[in-house]
Structure 1
Amino acid sequence: MDGRASIWDAGHRRTTVGLLTLVTLIAFEAMAVGTAMPSAVDELDGVAWYAWPFSAFLVTSVVGMVVGGEVGDRRSPRPGVLAGVVVFAAGLLVAGVAEHMAVLVVGRAVQGLGAGVVIVLLYVIAGQAYSSELRPRLFGAFAAGWVLPALVGPLAAGLVTTHLGWRGVFLGLLPLVGAGLALLLSAGAGRAPVRDTPSHRRSNAPWALLAGAGIAALQYAAQRLDLAALALAVLGAAGLALGLRRLLPTGTIRARQGIPAVVASRGLLAGAFFGMDALLPFVLTEAHGWSAATAGLPLTAGAVGWVLAAQLQGRRPDVPRQKVLRAGCLLLAAGLAATATSAIPALGGWPAYLTWGLAGVGMGLAMPSVGVLLLDQSPEAERGANSAALQISDVTASALCVGLSGLLVAGAADSGGALWPAVLVAVAVLTVPAILGAGVAGRTVAVDQGAPSSATTLATS
């Protein structure tokens, strides 16, 4: 490879800008909707529907991931990206003009479907358009595209909602989505020959719908905490288990060598980090009386650490990715464990700035490495399915760990007991996946990379 090649050279520039634009816009929408939703609920008189726009997006995004993976493995990702962006934009339009909460829920569901398709196909394009030497830097840029909206998204959405109304959060993204798609397609990204995939192969979309519904049921059950919630939780867990059995590579739960271990690593990282990321502001407000705005600042420290570390790992593509992944997992575990100090009354919560910044550094090293390991080991005809599995592992683990950590702390708060013991338990529980990730890192490279990977065969029994 030419030593001067980069993701910003003439051959890659428009593709890179197009990819990052779409990633950033999808991430921004995900961050902004939480800010705009209270105003939408108030105007549409839909308090009873409040959770449904979020659940609808989650369920359909899992379906979209599977559909995107199947499209990417059967033909060029170019038409799939076009269709996914059009669907996502249609969802923005439906949500933006909604006059009833039911219509808003439908719009969010349509958005989720399109977003799931696009995110997976962007990985397929990354595998086609960039060499293995450029992928660490590309995934470092992806990290910035995902994390930076977390810094400015809520503030920007708040300003738009205040001055233009909540509809502006949805409708205002439409021109930008079109611009990102135009850049990506004008660069010729995703122009690959159609692959000859057996037409009789059944889609896994129904299993994705089952898994997504299972996640939503578990989240709803955790919010109710009554007898009916127990039955709902059992049904949700059964649906999730059945769906994931068909959607994840065989051996993912056991972190089998190669692709299964890569997919498992993504789930371990996402669950550990986002479980605490969602919990930390609650701890700071309840235990130390911080304002909502101040309690979000340590999350900014984590986001900054993530972005900086992601750029750092991109500058060293020569370092084996499994070693970078292990280092990231260990730093994440250290940051998580140290964040337990945020619950100590005498410290006032201030160590969270440093400890969560350290956790962010761990994620910035580890998450791009997982993406590189996946693409480097995936045969071209399996990149779509493997990328979909990676995203599903992320979404599932994040949702479960966020629900679990919230359940542990909410139970202590509702009972009137001391908060800090529940926080310590939650931190201990969330640190375990990060430590496991460090152990799994050594298994993320197949023993024989010269042979086509058979570890990505989806479970059929």
Structure 2
Amino acid sequence: GVAPRVAPPGGAAAPTAPADGVAPAAAPPDLVRLLLVASVALITLVAFENLAVSTAMPAVAEDLGGLRLYAVASGVPLAAGLVATAVSGAWSDARGPRGSLLAGIVLFSTGLVIAGLAPSMEILVVGRAVQGFGGGLLVVPLYVLVGAMVPAARQPAFFAAFSAAWVVPALVGPGVTGLVVDHASWRWIFLGVPALTLGVSALLLPLLRHIPPHGSRSDPAVRHSRLLLAATGTGAAVAVLQVAGSQTGSEMAAWVVPAAIVAAAVLVLCLPPLVPAGTVRLLRGVPSAVACRTLLNATFMTAQTFLPLLLVREHGWPVWQAGLVLTVASVAWATGAAIQGRVTSTAGRDRLSWLGPLLLAAGTFITAGATLEAVTPWIVVVGWALGGTGMGLAYPALSVLVLQATPPARHGRISSSLQVADALGAAMGLAASGALFTALVGTGGTDAYLAGLLLASGLGLVASVAGARAAAPVVG
């Protein structure tokens, strides 16, 4: 799925203080440890499910016969999560994190059960939407709880642990998933997680009894409601575009074109409040950095979603073997991130903003070679390792660039914009590539995959341009 998140999701109160702006009182050490264990366990489960589904989807589509909804099943949780992040932020700010956290756990688990028992691809998409919404609801309160209960000096260690919670699932998740799918059933990828989620949630019950009293929010209610409405409209519009894209072809329903036009109009109206002014126009500095993150995730998620299907369906690879390609990308991502962490010069870090996307574009283009009969499918491993390295170089570098160029008082808002950019880019990339795939998959051959991978590679090149403009000095 989308990259490991280390910035607090948008909409919630800043993680360094509770909603009333008062520094958190030191919680008892036992509660702090319990919060760390339970939070990391929950994020690990969300991360595993995120990566496992990418590996298992080829088997799911084959079993349920819903190839036209393949991209929708991968993209709709992102759109639902975008809405849920805003809802959870508003909920946590207004009434504290308890309700959002509990609702998120219930909906996340319910969605997994629906998907695991789904008799058709349509029902699976519904389950994935519920799962994505629940996941969005439960992650935001964890950041709020850290801000409310953990002393400031210990908070960096918590957020580092949240980021590290993605590492093990990234390394072992795809391989384990492949073995489960090949030797049992893809349904266990969904049905095995709810029991674990509810078990981990039991650890949170003692914490919920010790949540500090919730203060009043200082932000204007009108502005908060506007952001909530904008995020909801954006998520809904993206979901409609994804479903509309799955209807392309000779059997396209009459409602598709009008619905897509309305959804596009809603997206144009709702997106501006969620991102810095000038993001769409690639203005130099922060707006281009946010645009670069959007395009990076569009490129990465498009390829990450369709490469396993290409290898399994067209080249006959077992699911576990195709899953290892995702593991290679995860290792390469971590390697790239480690390399960028050692780059300290301003010129060097500025270079990462365009070099990373360029490597991702090149790697994605190389993977497209697997659609040609004369090229070995193992080229995907080489290309996707290069792509993962590019993501590792650029993704954290852009976060640092944005935070350094933004006043501290606006760090929460710009972190929210980055979260929106990540989810929106991935969801829109899947909507566009899904429409291409649905339109071409019936023609036979590998043209449907080639079109999607070339589209993704092109988006990566535009991301490189945006990255260069992000690092360029702002004139005037």
Q: Which runs of no fewer than 5 residues in structure 2 stay unpaired?
A: 1-28
Verify: 1:403 aligned to 2:431, yes or no: yes
Confirm or deny: 8 A CA contact 1:272 1:434 kept in the other structure. yes
Confirm or deny: 8 A CA contact 1:329 1:437 kept in the other structure. yes
Shift in CA distance, 384/183, structure 1 to aligned 2, threshold 3 Å = farther
Verify: 1:284 aligned to 2:307, yes or no: no
Shift in CA distance, 358/15, structure 1 to aligned 2, threshold 3 Å = farther
Shift in CA distance, 168/356, structure 1 to aligned 2, threshold 3 Å = closer
Residue 210 of structure 1: aligned partner: 233
Shift in CA distance, 165/273, structure 1 to aligned 2, threshold 3 Å = closer
Task: Give CA-to-partner distance per residue, 1:142-199, whole Å, 9 cap, x none.
Answer: 66267347535634875896897954322222223555x68999999x9999763234
Cα distance in 1, alignment partners of residues 75 and 450 from structure 2: 29
Stretch deviating more after TM superposition (253-262 or 284-293): 284-293
Residue 452 of structure 2: aligned partner: 426
Cα distance in 1, alignment partners of residues 353 and 155 from structure 2: 16
Verify: 1:90 aligned to 2:115, yes or no: no
Verify: 1:169 aligned to 2:169, yes or no: no
1:21 CA displacement: 3.8
Shift in CA distance, 182/385, structure 1 to aligned 2, threshold 3 Å = farther
Stretch deviating more after TM superposition (12-21 or 289-298): 12-21
Q: Which runs of no fewer than 5 residues in structure 1 stay unpaired?
A: 1-9, 449-461
Residue 61 of structure 1: aligned partner: 81
Cα distance in 2, alignment partners of residues 211 and 446 from structure 1: 29
Amino acid corresponding to residue 193 of structure 2 in structure 1? V
Within a 5 Å distance, the mapping from 1:263-274 to structure 2 comes to: 263-274=290-301
Residue 220 of structure 1: aligned partner: 243
Residue 354 of structure 1: aligned partner: 382
Cα distance in 2, alignment partners of residues 126 and 269 from structure 1: 29
Q: Which of 401, 405, 414 is the aligned partner of 2:442?
A: 414
1:242 CA displacement: 2.3
Cα distance in 1, alignment partners of residues 373 and 57 from structure 2: 33
Shift in CA distance, 109/337, structure 1 to aligned 2, threshold 3 Å = closer
Verify: 1:197 aligned to 2:223, yes or no: no
Residue 454 of structure 1: aligned partner: none
Cα distance in 2, alignment partners of residues 284 and 36 from structure 1: 12
Q: Which of 322, 336, 339 is the aligned partner of 1:309?
A: 336
1:56 CA displacement: 6.4
Residue 261 of structure 2: aligned partner: 234
Cα distance in 2, alignment partners of residues 324 and 294 from structure 1: 31
1:211 CA displacement: 1.6
Confirm or deny: 8 A CA contact 1:160 1:169 kept in the other structure. no
Task: Give CA-to-partner distance per residue, 1:95-117, whole Å, 9 cap, x none.
Answer: 47769999998876564344324
TM-score normalised by length of structure 1: 0.73
Cα distance in 2, alignment partners of residues 325 and 132 from structure 1: 27
- What value does the CA root-mean-square deviation take over the aligned residues? 4.8
Shift in CA distance, 330/122, structure 1 to aligned 2, threshold 3 Å = farther
Shift in CA distance, 173/150, structure 1 to aligned 2, threshold 3 Å = same
Shift in CA distance, 350/221, structure 1 to aligned 2, threshold 3 Å = same
Residue 19 of structure 2: aligned partner: none
- Which of structure 1's runs of 4+ aligned residues deviate more than 6 A? 12-18, 36-39, 50-56, 96-107, 121-128, 130-140, 159-165, 182-188, 190-195
Cα distance in 2, alignment partners of residues 22 and 275 from structure 1: 26
Stretch deviating more after TM superposition (128-137 or 248-257): 128-137
1:434 CA displacement: 1.8
Confirm or deny: 8 A CA contact 1:147 1:307 kept in the other structure. no
Residue 466 of structure 2: aligned partner: 440
Confirm or deny: 8 A CA contact 1:150 1:303 kept in the other structure. no
Cα distance in 2, alignment partners of residues 307 and 255 from structure 1: 28
Specify the SS of the correspondent of 1:345.
coil
Confirm or deny: 8 A CA contact 1:70 1:203 kept in the other structure. no
1:332 CA displacement: 1.0
Stretch deviating more after TM superposition (204-213 or 18-27): 18-27
Q: Which of 311, 318, 329 is the aligned partner of 2:344?
A: 318
